[in-house]
Amino acid sequence: MFLINEKTIFKKFLAENTFFFFIILLCVSFIVMVIQAVNNLDLVLDDGHSFIIYFYYTLLLYPKVVSKVMPLIFFTSLFYSISKYENSNELKIFWINGINKINFYNVILKYTFIFFLIQIFLTAVISPYLQNKARNSFIQSDMDFFPSLIQEKKFIDTVDKLTIFIDKKINKNEYSNIFLKDDTSEFPKIIFADKGFLININGNRSLRLLNGKFINVNYEGNNLFFNFEQTDFNLSKFKTKTITDQKIKETPLFILTKCMLDFSIKKNVNKDDTSYCNKDSINEINSEIYSRLFKPLNFFILTSILIFLIMTNHEAKNFKLNQISIFIFGVFSVILFEIITNYSGKSLTSMVIFTVTPIIIFLILYFIFYIKNNQKNAVG
């Protein structure tokens, strides 16, 4: 009968904490996402992408926001729940009725392990995949950004290797007095046209130009002029400057791991490799691997800090001060974990050190807690 009561008590505690955790997570992550969305508003104003693409892009980055704030929210929710139970004497009732503190803490550890797995899944799989999908959403929308990008009587150089000037917009897809400077080749190509309008040719967005002139610069530095009555200028080959190659944070984990092993162990990566897997980026790759796979281990460090909260009694002197100190130390630890991530990529050795250290700290604290708890039970 006692075991049923004990399980019921633990379930009640974890259910209350989970509810509180998700309430805080939704509130904090929403605030962070709104701030991030405002900062990304330039992607709409400067690059001419639609608000639908902008909203889609922001939504796809939400799991990344969640993974960033989750450690702090997890610690805060557990700290609040344990403090609440301590202040209302519920923990004291637990101990009086024979519930062992180490059993209570072991339940919290199992609970922590679930969040540890969720965090790894977010950082190693979901977040990189959706970040890459978010970037691709801009690439796929490049054919549609041109109309909203154009502003009258203003030089636009947001598009990579293309400068645009439109004297007047007759309507959404029709313009007059057009200037284009194409820098995709070694020598620039300049185009003037009296009129132009947007068309689709085999699914490719093009600008049909009427009554204009080409100016080409040849190898001798001479300008060559060509008049035309009509020509089609292909816009689909151009991308906005925000569109870049796949970033390390968006790359699948197995590719990053292969790069790390090739560089750190096999030593067979070409220094002149033009991809991200090269000498200049290997530190960032190591840091990214650490952040995805091993940084979530710090959840157990945060849980071990709560040992001190479980061991304290609210009737003790300086309880409030100790309570505040424990919370501040937990917040400081979360900040420290972020700093450590930046240094974890310096070498394979540093990654191993920063991975093993939290495990050792956790085991030491757990061992001390186990010994002290048994001593108190023996005295009792």
Place 30 in a pLDDT band, splitting at 50, 70 and 90.
very high
Q: Which of 44-48, 108-112, 165-169, 291-295 has the lowest mean pLDDT?
A: 44-48
Residue 358 burial (CB count, 10 A) = 21
pLDDT in the model for residue 2: 44
Contact 43, 242 (CB under 8 A): yes
* Boundaries of every domain in the chain: 2-140+246-379, 151-234
pLDDT (mean) for 242-271 = 71
pLDDT greater at residue 145 or residue 324: 324
Average pLDDT value for the chain: 81
Q: For the segment 308-365, what is each residue's pLDDT rounded down to a tens digit?
A: 888 877 677 788 888 899 999 999 999 988 888 878 777 778 888 888 888 898 899 8
Q: DSSP labels for 5-66?
A: HHHHHHHHHHHHHHHHHHHHHHHHHHHHHHHHHHHTTHHHHTT---HHHHHHHHHHTHHHHH
pLDDT (mean) for 206-215 = 88
Place of tokens 């035309």: 228
Place of tokens 């750190």: 264
